[in-house]
């Protein structure tokens, strides 16, 4: 199995969106912007959903 | 094939190879694949509800609102919501014990643990309905401003998912009693347990958000 196809990498895909959510939440605090809690929530949850989808793609494929 | 003959067949199939989420060809089994995809969509469904709640809450002058009616008491975790939460968390453990039991071919332990899970899930629903009844009598309805509507929408949709989970677990229990699961063939058990764990995790997030997150007074 190619190292990139390890199911563990699904976690990285999910974390990518969680990091984007964190940046989206922190950035307005640095300036004087509006903190969009709804957008942050959706981005964070998107990380979980994308992680699950990546897991399906990686782990669901035949191993040969 | 009768349940008895099927049970005999599946007993012969007992193997040390646990029927995990992956089948022998290396791919993921169809029921588990379908459940994970479904759960991914469910994550976004609940994310929408949570996002609406956080948005409403962040824009409210105080939370929970005290005008025109004080709903602070709604967020008391005793005597119903706290114990119900403990029961639901316990049910996730018993569900997983059932999965481990059927993976090693122990049908007695499997059926016992699934039955306990069904009972715990049903008890949670009864406690939630009791809580709803008390809140209705105290004046908290869907029309009670943004607090009432978000509270009932979040907990109501979760309750509907618990009801669906209890029905799924009951089907698994019925099939288990009919001898349809073995150490090698129990994809439905694995898929149902994934769903039940998801429902439990959502409730923990919901409980923490609704009941444990400190309220705000005199400004957002």
- Tens-place pLDDT, residues B4-62: 444 444 443 433 333 445 555 556 888 999 999 999 999 999 999 999 999 999 999 88
Smallest CA–CA distance, residue B199 to chain A, in Å, is 15
A53 belongs to a structural domain: yes
DSSP type of residue B214: P
- Chain B residues whose beta carbon lies within 8 Å of the beta carbon of residue A56: 28, 33, 36-37, 40
Residue B51, pLDDT score: 96
How far is B149 from B58, CA to CA, in rounded Å? Answer: 16
Q: Which tens digit of pLDDT belongs to each residue from B131-175?
A: 999 999 988 888 888 899 999 999 999 999 999 999 999 999 999
Contact A53 B26 (CB under 8 A): no
Nearest-Cα residue of chain B relative to residue A41 = B51
Q: What is the CATH number of the domain that holds B134?
A: 1.20.120.80
Q: Are B144 and B70 in contact (CB under 8 A)?
A: no
Q: Is B175 domain-assigned?
A: yes
β-bridge mates for residue B28, sequence order: B22
Boundaries of domain holding A40 = 3-59
Contact between chains at A38 and B46 (C-beta distance less than 8 A): no
Where does residue B90 rank: exposed (0-12), middle (13-18), buried (19+ CB within 10 A)? middle
| Cβ distance of A52 and B43 shorter than 8 Å | yes
- Digit-coded pLDDT (tens) for B171-181: 999 999 999 99
Structural domains of chain A, count: 1
Both structure tokens of B119: 């009972």
Residue A64 lies in a domain: no
pLDDT of residue A1: 58
Give B86-129 pLDDT, tens digit per residue. 999 999 999 999 999 999 999 999 999 999 999 999 999 999 99
ipTM of this predicted structure: 0.84
In a domain, B174, yes or no: yes
- Domain boundaries, position B37: 29-64+93-212
Q: How many domains does chain B have?
A: 1
Q: Do B43 and A35 touch (CB under 8 A)?
A: no
Residue A3: per-residue pLDDT: 63
Distances (CA, A) of A14 to A8, A30, A53, B109: 11, 25, 9, 36
């Amino acid at each position: 199995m190619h190292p990139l196809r390890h199911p563990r990498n699904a976690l990285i895909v999910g974390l990518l969106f969680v990091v984007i959510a964190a940046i989206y939440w922190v950035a307005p605090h640095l300036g004087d912007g509006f903190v969009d809690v709804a957008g942050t929530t959706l981005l964070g949850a998107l990380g979980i959903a994308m992680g699950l989808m990546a897991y399906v793609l990686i782990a669901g494929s035949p191993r040969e | 094939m009768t349940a008895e003959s099927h049970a005999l067949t599946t007993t012969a199939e007992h193997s040390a190879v646990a029927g995990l989420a992956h089948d022998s060809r290396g791919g993921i089994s169809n029921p588990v694949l379908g459940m994970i995809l479904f759960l991914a969509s469910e994550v976004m469904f609940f994310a929408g509800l949570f996002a609406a709640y956080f948005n409403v809450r962040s824009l409210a002058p105080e939370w929970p609102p005290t005008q025109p009616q004080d709903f602070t008491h709604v967020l008391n975790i005793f005597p119903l919501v706290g114990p119900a939460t403990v029961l639901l968390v316990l049910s996730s453990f018993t569900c997983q014990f059932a999965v481990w039991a059927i993976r090693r071919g122990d049908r007695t332990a499997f059926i016992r643990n699934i039955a306990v899970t069904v009972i715990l899930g049903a008890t949670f629903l009864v406690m939630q309905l009791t809580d709803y009844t008390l809140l209705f009598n105290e004046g908290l309805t869907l029309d009670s401003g943004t607090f009432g509507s978000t509270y009932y929408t979040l907990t109501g949709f979760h309750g509907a998912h618990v009801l669906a989970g209890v029905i799924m677990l009951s089907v698994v229990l019925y099939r288990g009693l009919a001898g349809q699961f073995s150490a090698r063939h129990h994809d439905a058990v694995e898929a149902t347990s994934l769903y039940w764990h998801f429902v439990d995790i959502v409730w923990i997030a919901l409980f923490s958000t609704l009941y444990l997150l400190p309220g705000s007074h005199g400004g957002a």
